Amino acid sequence: MKFTVAIDGPAAAGKGTISRAVAERFGLAHLDTGALYRAVGMKSETEGLEPIAAAKALCPEDLERDDLRTMEAGQAASIVAAIPEVRAALVAFQRDFAVREGGAVLDGRDIGTVICPQAEVKLFVTASPEVRAHRRWLELGGDEADVLEQVRERDARDMGRADSPLRPAVDALVIDTSELSIEEAVARAADQIEARRAGDLD
């Protein structure tokens, strides 16, 4: 059975944690599409490739890099993701993954709006910039004020880009995790998926 869950949202909102949790709970494959862009960004920077060439040359090994969760990788991802040709090079990979037999969860920034507009479940996970910056600061350290500024800069770039801007799909359920525990956020997402799966089986 093919069943696609699209989970979008800004950096450090919790979409990755929620995506992994619901994928495991329902036995679905999981793809962190942000890792594709992080890998392209870091591949471009460390190997001296143009971003478009880096995207076309991306291989599974690139997704195993140990520097993909750094703030630098996140900033690099945001920059290369604004290049239409980079996005185009990665679209087919994401769409093929989404329709794999057994179902899939994809998390990113344009899954419900561009990559999988026909997804059975669409969620948009968000939180205030201050909460997201604090979470990222706890994860990475550094100066929290600088982290907040970087979060706001990335939000502006991701939401303002001409190609596939970050925004909720019109039929997405918005989950604001600012005041939610991980367990509460995962439960809300799981309830939505369970309701849709039950409907599909009726």
All domains of the chain in start order, with CATH: 4-197 (3.40.50.300)
Calculate mean pLDDT across residues 18-38: 95
What is the chain's mean pLDDT, rounded?
A: 93
The annotation status of 142 as a binding-site residue, yes or no, is no
Using the predicted structure, report yes or no on whether residue 162 has a pLDDT greater than 70: yes
Measuring CA to CA, which residue among 6, 1, 38, 3 is closest to residue 19?
A: 6
Buried b / exposed e along 62-98 (16+ C-beta atoms within 10 A) = beebeebeebebbbbbbbbbbbeebbebbeeebeebb
Using the predicted structure, report yes or no on whether residue 201 has a pLDDT greater than 60: no
- The rounded Cα 88 to chain-centroid distance in angstroms is 16
Q: What is the pLDDT of residue 34?
A: 87
Q: Which two tokens stand for residue 66?
A: 């140990």
The annotation status of 9 as a binding-site residue, yes or no, is yes
| Per-residue pLDDT tens digits for 56-104 | 999 888 988 999 988 899 889 989 988 999 999 999 889 989 999 999 9
The annotation status of 15 as a binding-site residue, yes or no, is yes
Q: What is the pLDDT of residue 199?
A: 78
The annotation status of 84 as a binding-site residue, yes or no, is no
Q: What is the pLDDT of residue 178?
A: 97
Q: How far apart are CA 2 and CA 146, in angstroms?
A: 43
Calculate mean pLDDT across residues 156-180: 93
Q: What is the pLDDT of residue 200?
A: 63
- Which of the four pLDDT bands, split at 50, 70 and 90, describes residue 202? very low
The annotation status of 113 as a binding-site residue, yes or no, is no
Using the predicted structure, report yes or no on whether residue 161 has a pLDDT greater than 90: no
Query: Strand runs (DSSP E) across the chain, as ranges?
Result: 4-8, 29-32, 104-108, 121-126, 173-176
The annotation status of 53 as a binding-site residue, yes or no, is no
Using the predicted structure, report yes or no on whether residue 1 has a pLDDT greater than 90: no
Calculate mean pLDDT across residues 104-121: 95
The annotation status of 12 as a binding-site residue, yes or no, is yes
